[in-house]
Amino acid sequence: MSEIPDTPLTGKALLQKVKELSHFPRRETAKLCGYCSLSKDGQLRVNLTDFYDAVLGAKGVPLDPDGIKDGRGRDATYEVTVHQNGQIVIGSTYTEKMGLKAGDRFKIKLGYKHIHLKQEEDTSTGDENQVA
């Protein structure tokens, strides 16, 4: 039987160990990869959720690329719909992700079944009080 590592395995080391322990039950595999802790009463607790998250992360499947979510709002779907008035609204999630700010301008390029937004270059001199 293998020893429990002091710190949980991650990355390639975790994947290799999981492969080696494929004949063990999941709880035992998680424990032998270091995904366990002692409870207040001294019993060993296996942290399966952390183990699964680490395995998926090691396989290149990020579960939460933007960090910890607070449970509010929706996740970006990268889809929009045309409203009844014919407008398309792009949410702030996307504009924030792209680093856009109020006043940024785009050229609309229509293609076959798609729309491209090409950001216009900022040609201002930096003095926003100038009148053209």
What does the mean pLDDT of the chain come to? 80
Which residue range forms the structural domain that includes residue 35?
11-58
Is 51 within the bounds of a domain? Answer: yes
Is 99 within the bounds of a domain? Answer: no
Tokens at residue 53, please?
A: 């998250």
* Mean pLDDT of the region 11-30: 91
- pLDDT greater than 50 at residue 129: no
Angle between helices 48-58 and 11-20 (to 10 degrees): 110
* Mean pLDDT of the region 24-35: 92
* Mean pLDDT of the region 119-126: 66
Q: How many structural domains does the chain have?
A: 1
Write down the pLDDT at residue 98.
Answer: 82
Is 54 within the bounds of a domain? Answer: yes
Tokens at residue 22, please?
A: 């494929």
Q: Tens of pLDDT along 68-90?
A: 555 555 666 777 788 889 888 88
Is 45 within the bounds of a domain? Answer: yes
CB-based contact 63:50 (threshold 8 Å): no
Q: Within a 13 Å sphere around the CA of 2, how many CA atoms are in the beta-carbon half?
A: 15
Is 16 within the bounds of a domain? Answer: yes
Is 41 within the bounds of a domain? Answer: yes
